Amino acid sequence: MSEVLTYGHGILREKAEPVKQVNDAVRRLAKDLLATMYRANGVGLATQQIGRREAMFVIDVSPRTVPEEARQPPENPGVPMPLVLINPAITELKDEQRAEEGCLSFPEVYVTLTRAAEVVVAFTDLDGRERTARATGLLARVIQHEMDHLNGVLLVDRMSLAQKFAVAGKLRRLKQRAEAA
């Protein structure tokens, strides 16, 4: 398992590079991402968050990872969990949802953000097959959040000035810890 990098680590701002071929190394990376995400009690994790740059992230919004109080009726029954997305691209965004969002790279920071309520994402799976998935609700939100990571966009970039001010102390401490590491 890898360490989850927190705000202040430079690689979090770097854009991902496409995966050229799905091979055993990519499958091992997916396994590491999942194990790291589960250990950190997350629902999604992108490669930059563990210091890598491959265009890839993992998601699990099943009852295994979502706290009971946050569970909703199954929104995406045709999408198996966990989900590994290699070279993902969002091809469609629809409507809006507003909800609280956190990030493993910003521990103890939660803000309310607006994201699309429904997305269609194209990606390559671990067998090297091209896939698409339509997602709503929490899964749509997590896909958009992890896509941001692949583009070097962080939770703090989505915050309003008031939200940044409210968590300024936490952000400063995270950045100082990253610089000291």
Catalytic positions: 146
Cα atoms in the Cβ-side hemisphere of radius 13 Å centred on 176: 6
Say how far apart CA 179 and CA 7 lie, in whole Å: 10
Q: How many other CB atoms are found less than 10 A from the CB of residue 93?
A: 14
Handedness of CA 105, 108, 112, 116 (dihedral sign): positive
Residues β-bridged to residue 100: 112
124: its two tokens: 């390559």
- Which residue reads 């999408």 in tokens? 79
Cα atoms in the Cβ-side hemisphere of radius 13 Å centred on 89: 9
Residues β-bridged to residue 58: 45, 84
Task: Give every CB contact of residue 43 below 8 A, 6+ residues apart in sequence.
Answer: 37, 59, 60, 61, 65, 66, 138, 142
